[in-house]
Structure 1
């Protein structure tokens, strides 16, 4: 699938994500909007996955460590055919399998339960190490938030990945510069990430994480080391009043804001 096609799908996913947040009265829309371009590139271009066989051993693995943006993953999985598209309307409703954090026991295409931050990358390191031990050729991808990188468990996993030579592992840091309640620079500012990851023995690529022409080649890059993509993104990307505003970590648009956001996303088409 080419860049223009991927951009069109990403706009559709943003549109449905916005609608679903308003329908549910909850979500983490800022971080969802920053991550959607990368999710689109993964599921519609890069990952070897089979929606009708979600657990086939040959599949590539993707772990959404920043599990609070589960809705963006659900919409992407639905668009890709893992779950019915109409099921997105059940997000957070009683008895729905689409919970606020991904559940691998309920949702096809979800590789592991996430939500507590700092867990996804260590699990992904285990998946990549397992592939090395068994001779499997699948690739493991994991997306963390930049605020999440403040968790010490991530740096232990980064060290282990280099020690094990996990060149079948790609870490994507959604570097949107904001976390719950504050900006990254006003809490525990680990940026810049590139020299830190390189010091641990990783290859590092820095990209605009909301530009498909940069996302795709970075995701497809292979080398002799574990690979980190520092994806510079915008919180609330695509919606002017949300963009780069800490309030929109998990705020829900009112009806006037919803109409403005719909209009802006429609104009982008």
Structure 2
């Protein structure tokens, strides 16, 4: 789809900075101008976190323009975001100040451009995000390092209010007071919405001021969307709270800056904030752009300056992929299963929309538990539910579910409690959010937990079969779900009855065999097979949905029919499915062992479009075809 998009070049920001003498007006104009460019970059990318970027824009502008000492020098003051969703807004501000190249504005979530979440590979980005709640601890480490090397820097950390549900934040507070970290200022972007809905409706934070004060922190509060209020509050922090770590609870509006995106404009009774992630509709973009331009023009006019002169160009907006999404298929199947199995309960970690649980929450509200951004708490709660004979299904993104509560999952296993863990957004794709959201080490992290079976379905039919397996098996299960739409090739494969450790041939070919699981890998392998066929290589493609189990009899039969065996996985090469199969092959002690190669990720995953990133990591159809062709035995006529 083509549409006209507009952005502000660097000289427009120079006019604002040089032409508006009033500091508060200048900061407000800069923030709204940065919002214009944030909106542009998210529209061009087709995704990004708009609401969080807009709520934090005034705070970011004031800190960078007026508060921080030499923020772009090696020993200057430090600002970074712990919540991370506001990265597009921070990028826009840094570009406006010349701290990042201007052409990067057009490369949000593109290979070699600006990652979807903060990444230290970029200048002036001081910390990556991962699971939320790490920022205060990282800031403490920076301050300790500064003290050791004799540097004098102040450190400002932005957290989200939903982020404060993560326990690491509270672990960090006492140590900062104990070490008299007056260098540290935490700013809570208190926009009162986490991901898609209200913090108070998920896991209410209660009296934040009293909680921070109880740890000994200096606590201040202000309107975080007002430059004047931020100024007064930070002056108070400087004068009256020196020598102590301080928190500024900045009351903001998610989507602040224009009524189109402001959470205060949500219709009465609406539970979901529509602009947390993703690009807005064209009509919403146009309305917001007009409103933001009018706001900046008003401030420019007040100081006798000409209106903004945006640059415009026709842009091709990213097309939305079609096809079924496995979390949605899973969610419907779980509801149907739960109607007849009263043991089933569902737990969610603030991702009800993305994990397919809205139907469950509506159909069976008494058996649905929203745990908020607290994965460790959720998994241990699941263990408690299982102790009374219930069957808990615990949900989050795979990147968060396998990592932060890993110890809790192991503890559940040690108690022999059956829990089903459901990880959406699994694997390399979508790559636009960046490596913090790409779960490519979950198989290695979970594969050794006793009594835990790892299962990745390839399509809708296999997902429905997987739900039945999860309910009926005696073991715990980690159900790994790719979230992007399933291709026609993968969907057409249907399903066969699931037998633990056994795969099935989905494309019969010759004695060159490739094993894979899930819709991403199988789609690319089927396409690679077509490319290889044109070169005279007849590839057999095998789907093996079991990631940490393999049936030795089945493997023996499969290996006997292969001269070359490749295992392709949507995961790091270490500790994944290929390692399991290679070891099992050696332990078979068969007379005939095919040549073997595992293909997967070897580096931290890149951010970009699906095609860019699959190609860069050697997992696209044409790169797989090349790898397989190069791995054939030279002595054999393919």
TM bucket, shorter chain: over 0.9
- Quick check: 1:68–1:115 contact (8 Å CA) kept in 2? no
Q: Which of residues 105, 119, 130 is equivalent to 1:103?
A: 119
Who is 1:15 aligned against? 36
TM-score (norm 2): 0.40
Q: Which of residues 248, 267, 289 is equivalent to 1:229?
A: 248
Who is 2:85 aligned against? 68
- Quick check: 1:75–1:85 contact (8 Å CA) kept in 2? no
- Secondary structure of the structure 1 residue equivalent to 2:125: coil
Distance apart, 1:153 and its partner CA: 0.4
Who is 1:34 aligned against? 55
Who is 2:224 aligned against? 209
Q: Which runs of 5+ in 1 are unaligned?
A: none
Distance apart, 1:183 and its partner CA: 0.6
Who is 2:76 aligned against? 59
Cα distance per residue 1:63-84 (max 9 Å; x no partner): 2101122111111111111112
Cα distance per residue 1:134-183 (max 9 Å; x no partner): 44221011000000001100001111111111011000000000011321
Cα distance per residue 1:45-79 (max 9 Å; x no partner): 1112354x4xx2x2111121011221111111111
- Secondary structure of the structure 2 residue equivalent to 1:142: strand
From the CA coordinates, give the structure whose radius of gyration is larger. Answer: 2
- Secondary structure of the structure 1 residue equivalent to 2:66: helix
Q: Which runs of 5+ in 2 are unaligned?
A: 1-20, 267-272, 297-638
Cα distance per residue 1:76-111 (max 9 Å; x no partner): 111111112221111111232x1011111x211111
Q: In structure 2, how many angstroms separate the alpha carbons of the residues matched to 1:159 and 1:88?
A: 39
Residue 273 (structure 2) pairs with residue 266 (structure 1): no
Cα distance per residue 1:199-219 (max 9 Å; x no partner): 100001100000000112333
Who is 2:424 aligned against? none
Q: What is the correspondence of 1:184-199 to structure 2 with a 5 Å cutoff?
A: 184-199=199-214
- Secondary structure of the structure 1 residue equivalent to 2:86: helix
Q: In structure 1, how many angstroms separate the alpha carbons of the residues matched to 2:278 and 2:206?
A: 25
Q: In structure 1, how many angstroms separate the alpha carbons of the residues matched to 2:261 and 2:26?
A: 25
Count of aligned positions: 263
- Quick check: 2:87–2:117 contact (8 Å CA) kept in 1? yes
- Quick check: 2:69–2:77 contact (8 Å CA) kept in 1? yes
- Secondary structure of the structure 1 residue equivalent to 2:64: helix
Q: In structure 1, how many angstroms separate the alpha carbons of the residues matched to 2:62 and 2:81?
A: 14
Residue 263 (structure 2) pairs with residue 248 (structure 1): no
- Quick check: 2:159–2:189 contact (8 Å CA) kept in 1? yes
Q: Identify the structure with bigger relative contact order (alpha carbons < 8 Å, sequence gap 6+).
A: 1
Who is 1:92 aligned against? 109
Q: In structure 2, how many angstroms separate the alpha carbons of the residues matched to 1:225 and 1:268?
A: 38
- Secondary structure of the structure 1 residue equivalent to 2:257: coil
Q: In structure 1, how many angstroms separate the alpha carbons of the residues matched to 2:71 and 2:252?
A: 28
- Quick check: 2:71–2:78 contact (8 Å CA) kept in 1? no
- Quick check: 2:55–2:225 contact (8 Å CA) kept in 1? yes
Q: In structure 2, how many angstroms separate the alpha carbons of the residues matched to 1:239 and 1:122?
A: 34
Who is 1:25 aligned against? 46
Residue 221 (structure 2) pairs with residue 200 (structure 1): no
User: Larger % of strand: which?
Assistant: 2
Who is 1:141 aligned against? 156
- Quick check: 1:44–1:80 contact (8 Å CA) kept in 2? no
Q: Taking structure 1 as reference, are residues 139 and 38 closer, same or farther at Cα in structure 2, changes over 3 Å only?
A: same
Residue 194 (structure 2) pairs with residue 179 (structure 1): yes
Q: What is the correspondence of 1:109-128 to structure 2 with a 5 Å cutoff?
A: 109-128=124-143
Q: In structure 1, how many angstroms separate the alpha carbons of the residues matched to 2:30 and 2:203?
A: 35
- Secondary structure of the structure 1 residue equivalent to 2:55: helix
Who is 2:340 aligned against? none
